[in-house]
Amino acid sequence: MQFKGNTFWITGAASGMGKTTAIEIAGNKARIIISDRDEIGLKETARQIEELGSTVRVEPIDMSNPSQIQQIAKRVLAEEKVKGLYQFAGISQRSLVIDTPMENYRKIMEINYFGVVALTQAVLPHMIENGGGQFAAASSMVGKFGFPLRSAYSSSKHALHGYYESLYAENAKYGIKVSMLIGGRIQTNISKFALNKDGQEHGKMDAGQANGITAEKAAKQICKGLKREKREIKIGGFELIMLQIRRFCPSLYFKLAQKIKPT
């Protein structure tokens, strides 16, 4: 993937990995479209992109609103030639299965899965018509395996893998590329805004996450993988060893997972 001279649409761009990835790509003289429901955060991201000498288009969007997604996509795609759609918008969870109400499962799936799929469905024909392009979506290590206190979040990320693998199998012949972003411990606000059992914000950064890599370092790992068009891009540090443990030593993984204490 060549960033320079192309246009990339990035969701979840008001903070965290979405923001730092947008800024990192902008440094390659690309045109950037940024979306998030946080309009104040978007303005700050736009300011930093413009300081790099790149052009930016701000499109606030609520990923839980499918009709809004369709309207904005229609407008953007009528005016832009999007080469890459990189989606970081999402919400996490901190609650046990037994305590998690169905409304929390539905809210998390609406944002993390259905919203991402809705925007992808809108952009896919546009990319095919223009000779191809690249999709990337933020998954997680728990998008590869289940984990305590993450049943809804993990399920939403598992679903993304199935969707995008199917999309790639059907559309690779049209020049469509797909990269799944497998994040480990990264210093972002996702744990602060995670839903607890009452549907309220968790309100704090997890200790493990606080000791993770910075969002800026994560963005460099992401962009390196995107340029190589890797189908899975692993982001993080030593904790990524859990992916290998789950794959090759599942019995050990389940023993370790059962030792995780509820927050």
Chain centre to alpha carbon of residue 214: 16
Confidence at 164, pLDDT banded by 50, 70, 90: very high
Instruction: List pLDDT tens digits, range 102-139.
Output: 999 999 999 999 999 999 999 999 999 999 999 999 99
Instruction: Compute how many other C-beta atoms are within 10 angstroms of the C-beta atom of residue 141.
Output: 22
pLDDT of res. 263: 53
- Give the C-alpha distances (Å, rounded to integers) separating 25 from 12, 132, 161: 15, 19, 24
pTM confidence score: 0.94
Q: In the chain, what are the domain boundaries? A: 7-257
Q: Which of 30, 32, 31 shows the shortest CA–CA distance to 42? A: 32
Q: Is it the case that residue 8 has pLDDT exceeding 70?
A: yes
What are 105-109's contacts with CB under 8 Å, separation 24+? 105/151, 105/152, 105/155, 107/64, 107/195, 107/199, 108/152, 108/153, 108/156, 108/195, 109/152, 109/155, 109/156, 109/159
Confidence at 260, pLDDT banded by 50, 70, 90: confident
pLDDT of res. 208: 73
Q: How do 82-87 and 133-138 pair as beta strands? A: parallel
- Per cent of the chain over pLDDT 70 is 99
pLDDT of res. 210: 79
Q: Is it the case that residue 193 has pLDDT exceeding 90?
A: no
Q: Which CATH class is domain 7-257?
A: alpha beta
- Give the C-alpha distances (Å, rounded to integers) separating 228 from 31, 97, 134, 174: 20, 38, 11, 18
Task: Report CA dihedral (138, 180, 22, 132) to the nearest 10 degrees.
Answer: -130
User: Would you please indicate which residues are annotated as catalytic (active-site) residues?
Assistant: 153
Q: How far apart are CA 145 and CA 72, in angstroms?
A: 34
